[in-house]
Amino acid sequence: MSCTVGRSYIVKPGNTPSKIAQEQLGDANRWREIKKPDGSSLTDHDASNLPVGQELCIPNGSVTLPGGNGFASIISSETYEAMFPNRNALYAYDSLVTATQKYPQFCNEGSDEQRKQEAAAFLANIAHETTGGWDAAPGGRFAWGLHFIEEQNPTSQYCDASNTTYPCASGRSYHGRGPIQLSWNYNYGQMGEVLGADLLNNPDLVKSDGVIAFQTALWFWMTSQPPKPSCHAVMTGGWTPSPDDASKGRAPGFGMTINIINGGLECSIPTNDKVRDRVGFYERFTQMLGVNMGEIIFCENMAHY
């Protein structure tokens, strides 16, 4: 079979849809424009299992996907590899790019500076949540982001038995998994409804399916949980502090994402090593993207929720 639309391309060893799109179309984010010879689109399963020798069809012209920018236009696969040289295989670049398709506003709102800051802030926080250790080389601690795929030595099954909407399944533990360390049965249940996956009965999907793993992190990042705004809103100008927020020191910026994620464990107290680690990743990643860190980087003067 040969392409009826577009030009033929034969998959080579090491190819991924994003790499092919970057090479052939100049934009890794356009990989969903690549078709099979019968004209159908690649499914997420196809994208994760490209056999060497398969024929694909590369579109002609320079039509860009709706939305234009997005995460993959800010973070290339090469930049991602440089950020996370020792990442676990679960956290593949293509899995993250695929996961972002469910949240098209991610890294796609605000100014160019804000979009880059959001990408750096998201990656900094998940890097901290999954850091596996320290490298002896100068600055080496930053080599270990996206290392752990689940909480180490959990002391609880994180089952809220009083929650009847998302009841715990027998024999299942809802300890932290994935890049944002999704925890508790009610979060697994709500996330499962969003994704159409039974995470209450199969919580290990968050540590075995890279797309699902990143989607859990993006869901948390993009979804407000009143009275908390979303991390996305505070990084892209979509949140204006109320008078009560302002009186409690809450303001847009990276520090506010820490407050949303970990509240009183890291904010409204003297800056601890966990906060310094998050800020260290953020500083490194903003430097790599050629953008400043913005204002309100820390959260010691913010009241937690």
What are the residue numbers of the active site? 129
Nearest to 71 by CA among 143, 14, 126: 126
Tokens 């090469």, residue located: 78
Nearest to 181 by CA among 154, 156, 217: 217
Exposed / middle / buried, residue 298 (Cβ in 10 Å: 0-12, 13-18, 19+): middle
Which spans in 67-134 are helix H? 71-74, 77-83, 93-100, 112-129
CA distances for 243 relative to 156, 224, 236, 295, angstroms: 38, 18, 20, 19
Task: List the structure tokens of 203.
Answer: 């919580």
Instruction: Report which DSSP code applies to 7.
Output: E
- The answer, yes or no, to whether the previous bond of 167 is cis (omega within 30 of 0) is no
Rounded CA separation 196/264 (Å) = 32
Give first-to-last CA distance, the chain, whole Å.
59
Contact 115, 236 (CB under 8 A): yes
CA distances for 10 relative to 1, 21, 37, 44, angstroms: 12, 13, 11, 19
